[in-house]
Amino acid sequence: MIKGPGIFLAQFAGDEAPFNSLESICKWAADLGYKGIQIPTWDGRLFDLEKAGTSKDYCDEIQAIVSGAGLEIEGLSTHLQGQLVAVHPAYDAQFDGFAPPEVHGKGKERTEWAVNQLMLAANASSFLGLKNMATFSGALLWQTVYPWPQRPSGLVETGFKELAKRWTPILNYFEKKGVDVCYELHPGEDLHDGVTFERLLEATNNHNACKILYDPSHFVLQQMDYLKFIDFYHDKIGMFHVKDAEFNPSGKSGVYGGYQEWKERPGRFRSLGDGQTDFKGIFSKLTQYGFDGWAVMEWECCLKSSEQGAKEGAPYIESLLIDVATTSFDDFAKGAADEESNRKILGL
């Protein structure tokens, strides 16, 4: 059975109570009906990754705080640090803010810092008894996604070879710790759909620790078949973000959005139940394939407040959870059978 409801804390952390400490935000989440949390490892108000990656005692303290609120830790998030594993120089200025000031403007040092952060997250995940970690892949090729002039022959292969070179040591370390790296497939990342995930998988020799964080909202905005995606990749899905979206193209703009603000874009993230995502279909597919991870709400909406979204999210996810059947609906009509009886039925 899928676990839940869970909540990703990144969009809710803040300087005001109850969002400014792990203890108070856990109580807030539990009071809303959530049963699990995903922790952003870059937010020192909630979590100290340096301590967590080096101290089992600190991780035990974190576990005590979370369990004291009646919650479980679903996983850690290193989205910002994972982004910095691979950054094209065109985006240096924009992504420097994800790293400490001492590595700003220093691409190599910033990447080394990010890799060390991921290693700490592997240690922390192991100390906390977690099996999955959420992250981004970073991007070396994104600026060529819709190329003009055309991409030179071999450019994509070279890009994924380098991406694999950077990620393979990280994946190896996570595998030793018994933790899978779940990439959120997201526009802006070199891993943004099934084809690009397969490229990295092939470039890392089908690494066992290379998995997917499934978030259908990014597929709605790309106009992908997010249900068929589960048929293709269900055995690689390790984590699940429940985030809604809608796509309403016009005669003026479509997938690319015309540089408009979120409210004006054809593709918009919405609070749960306000968008177009077929979550009943998604939960049915994931249940069909035996997914037993967490359904974690990620709130991003251009219209509704985060607090209203969080309040509505827990019961919405709760209503989608499927209590898996242990018997077949037509068992009442099943007759006893053996090999001899079966052969008679077949006229043999």
Whether 332 has a pLDDT exceeding 70, the answer reads no
Domains and CATH numbers, the chain: 3-345 (3.20.20.150)
Whole-number pLDDT of residue 16: 97
pLDDT higher than 80, residue 25: yes
95: pLDDT strictly greater than 80: yes
- What pLDDT is attached to residue 331? 73
**CB-CB contact of 261 with 236 (8 Å):** no
Contact present, 185 and 198 (Cβ < 8 Å)? no
Reported confidence tier of residue 161, pLDDT bands at 50, 70, 90 = very high
3-class state of residue 100 by DSSP: coil
For a pLDDT cut of 90, what percent of the chain falls above it? Answer: 95
pLDDT tens digits along 224-272: 999 999 999 999 999 999 999 999 999 999 999 999 999 999 999 999 9
Query: Cα–Cα distance between 99 and 79 in angstroms, integer?
Result: 12
Per-residue pLDDT, averaged over 267-279, amounts to 98
Q: Closest by alpha carbon to 283, among 236, 316, 307, 326?
A: 316
Grade residue 330 by pLDDT with cuts at 50, 70 and 90: confident
Distance CA 96, CA 104 (A): 5
At residue 329, the pLDDT reads: 72
| pTM across the whole model | 0.96
Asked whether residue 6 carries a pLDDT value surpassing 80, the answer given is yes
Mean pLDDT of 195-218: 98
- Residue 34 above 70 pLDDT? yes
Is 80 exceeded by the pLDDT of residue 190? Answer: yes
pLDDT of residue 325: 82
Q: Is 65 helix (H, G, I), strand (E, B) or coil?
A: helix
pLDDT of amino acid 225 = 98
In the prediction, which pLDDT does 32 show?
Answer: 98
Whether the CB-CB separation of 80 and 43 falls below 8 Å is answered with no
Please give the C-alpha separations between residue 55 and each of 128, 207, 249, in angstroms, as whole numbers. 11, 28, 50
pLDDT tens, position by position, 122-149: 999 999 999 999 999 999 999 999 999 9
**Mean pLDDT estimate for the chain:** 97
Measured between alpha carbons, how far is 5 from 133 in angstroms, rounded to an integer? 18
Task: Give tens-digit pLDDT for 39-87.
Answer: 999 999 999 999 999 999 999 999 999 999 999 999 999 999 999 999 9
Q: Looking at residues 277-297, what average pLDDT do you find?
A: 98
The predicted structure's pLDDT at residue 328: 74
Mean pLDDT confidence for 321-337 = 80
Pair 151, 191: CB distance under 8 Å? no
Lowest mean pLDDT among 21-30, 189-198, 268-277, 333-342: 333-342
Instruction: Spell out where the chain has E strands.
Output: 3-8, 36-40, 72-78, 132-135, 180-184, 210-214, 237-242, 244-247, 267-270, 294-297
